[in-house]
Amino acid sequence: MNNFIDYKLIELGQWTVGLFNDYPVVQILVHLLLATLPLTLVFMGAFGFSTWLERKGLARIQNRLGPNRVGIFGLLQPLADGIKMLLKEDIVPDRSDKLFHFLAPVMLMVPAFIAVGFLPLGDGLMALPMDSAILFFFAVGSLNTIAVFMAGWSSRNKYSLLGGMRAVAQMISYEIPLVLSAVAVIMFSGSLNAQEIVASQQIQSWLASGNLVKEFFGQILGWHIFKPWGFAGFIFFFVAALAEANRSPFDLPEADSEIIAGHLTEYSGFKYAIFFMAEYISAFAIAGIATTLFLGGWSGPVIAGLPWFIIKMFSLFAVMIWIRGTLPRLRVDQLMGYAWKFLLPLAILNIFVAGFYYFAEQQFGSLAAFIGGWVIGFGILQTAAKGLSRLNKSPTLDGKRVYQLVE
């Protein structure tokens, strides 16, 4: 019985709803509240923690200490930041479009929280259980483009405008490889339902076998990332997700060394904090969906369910922090070229590889498909990637150079 945490939480919820059996109207409200409130609070808390994690992680990468004044290890720093942000003056530029300037952070935050609702946090733990959850996730996730452009346009600041323009170009371009790499998983699982996608990554016959070793590995070995197309798809998905979430090295809309803070330039005080929160929540959401699609969702040995989901999501987030502390930023034309000329063709090819893998599994059994897939399928993908990068190589770059040393 290893998803007991999930079941206990569900039982708790059912018990709470049961208390209001005599008042059907109140019961519906309580039901709704139970679905949304914990999610909001948990992810707000996770946001606070992740700002701390990011600052601390970046600081360690950069040979600094990071926040260490407020609370032990600076853990209360997010709280202090929150209070500071609340107390700050909210400056609205004189000639800005005031309504849209106000609406933009809200527009960004609402879809971010809705997107989180589609995450299967555990067995049966899903705020918005829906058969087409994945589709809805991507639909809602693409709304933030509008919000970012709204912020950029309404601020009446040229840097904001440039940031907004970059954001639109970037997010629309990367949406396509993002969804296409998810398509492979959806095709393989045969469902848009997030829970069924997770279930497809568990080896059900092993789980039911009653053998402890088989149960242990049945929770791991089925993850799509261990399949050739899943591994490639995960990389495409993660790269596109970095761009979707405006994370480095694709943080062009808020490139601080070029356009100051892009669409955030004219935001201060709590509106800025809301922007920040929405971006982190979207980053969580996208890390969560990557977990669901490729890393087996909440499945995992010993304590399957919520804990594993959180561990995986935060690990992906930590990788994002790591990348942020390491890589320089791409230029806007290179960014677009990378999406259209490299990621997109490979993501499409990956769908075919996944299709053939599925077919091979039906025909020759999973072991043969696994080995053949890694040898042939991954080989094809790798060759294609090499060919594409050679094809796209700019003639003006010569890579490594040798320098003369003269007297």
Partner 1 sequence: MPARGYHLSKDELGADILEVAMGPHHPSTHGVFRMDLKLDGETVVDLKPIFGYLHRNHEKLAEDIPYLGCMPFTDRLDYLCGMTNNWAFALSAEQLIEIEIPERAQYIRVICAELTRLINHCLLVGFFINDLGALGTPLLYALREREKILDLFETLSGARMMVNYMRFGGVRCDLPDGWLQECERIVGRFPAFLDEYETLLKDNEIVITRSQNVGVLTQEEATNFSITGPMLRASGVNYDIRKVDKYGIYDRFDFKVPIGAHGDCYDRFMVRMLEMRESIKILKQAIADIPEGPIMGNEPRVFKPDPQETYGRIESPKGELGFYLIADGTTNPYRYKVRPPSFVNLTALRHMCIGHKVADAVIILGSIDIVLGEVDR
Which one, of 141, 332, 186, 161, lies nearest residue 261 by Cα? 161
Which one, of 118, 137, 115, lies nearest residue 129 by Cα? 118
Could you say which of 17, 34, 53, 61 contacts partner 1 (CB under 8 A)?
A: 61
Give CA–CA dist 165/145, Å, rounded.
Answer: 10
Give CA–CA dist 102/294, Å, rounded.
Answer: 37
- 302: alpha, beta or left? (left if phi > 0; alpha if psi -120 to 50): left
3-class DSSP assignment, residue 122:
strand
- Whole-number minimum distance, CB 96 to partner 1, in Å? 9
Binding mask 288-327 for partner 1 (x = CB under 8 A): ------------------------------------xxxx
Are the CB atoms for 317 and 49 separated by under 8 Å? Answer: no
* Residue 103: how many other CB atoms lie within 10 Å: 15
- Whole-number minimum distance, CB 235 to partner 1, in Å? 15
Could you say which of 158, 208, 362, 375 contacts partner 1 (CB under 8 A)?
A: 158
Phi, psi of 332 (to 5 degrees): -65, -40
Which one, of 309, 314, 297, lies nearest residue 202 by Cα? 297
Could you say which of 38, 129, 249, 355 contacts partner 1 (CB under 8 A)?
A: 249
Are the CB atoms for 197 and 185 separated by under 8 Å? Answer: yes
- Whole-number minimum distance, CB 208 to partner 1, in Å? 47
- Whole-number minimum distance, CB 218 to partner 1, in Å? 39
Give CA–CA dist 76/185, Å, rounded.
Answer: 40
Name the segment binding partner 1 (CB under 8 A); options: 171-179, 205-213, 266-274, 330-338. Answer: 330-338
Could you say which of 329, 376, 380, 384 contacts partner 1 (CB under 8 A)?
A: 329
Contacts of 108 (CB under 8 A, 6+ apart): 144, 147, 148, 151, 274, 275, 278, 279
Could you say which of 1, 25, 89, 95 contacts partner 1 (CB under 8 A)?
A: 95
Name the segment binding partner 1 (CB under 8 A); options: 268-276, 277-285, 328-336, 374-382. Answer: 328-336
3-class DSSP assignment, residue 270:
helix
Which one, of 114, 116, 300, lies nearest residue 198 by Cα? 300
**Does 259 help bind partner 1 (rule: CB under 8 A)?**
yes
Comparison of 22 and 398: residue with beta carbon closer to partner 1: 398
**Does 31 help bind partner 1 (rule: CB under 8 A)?**
no
Token pair of 173, please?
């371009």
Tokens 């059996």 -> residue: 21
**Does 205 help bind partner 1 (rule: CB under 8 A)?**
no
Comparison of 310 and 332: residue with beta carbon closer to partner 1: 332
The single-letter code of the amino acid at 389 is S
Tokens 């139970």 -> residue: 34
Could you say which of 35, 42, 53, 58 contacts partner 1 (CB under 8 A)?
A: 58
- Whole-number minimum distance, CB 170 to partner 1, in Å? 12
Could you say which of 75, 260, 310, 376 contacts partner 1 (CB under 8 A)?
A: 260
Name the segment binding partner 1 (CB under 8 A); options: 143-151, 152-160, 174-182, 376-384. Answer: 152-160
Comparison of 311 and 332: residue with beta carbon closer to partner 1: 332
- Whole-number minimum distance, CB 246 to partner 1, in Å? 13
Comparison of 210 and 399: residue with beta carbon closer to partner 1: 399
Site residues, partner 1 (CB under 8 A) = 58, 61-64, 95, 153, 156, 158-159, 161-162, 165-166, 248-249, 251, 255-260, 324-334, 394, 396-401, 403-407
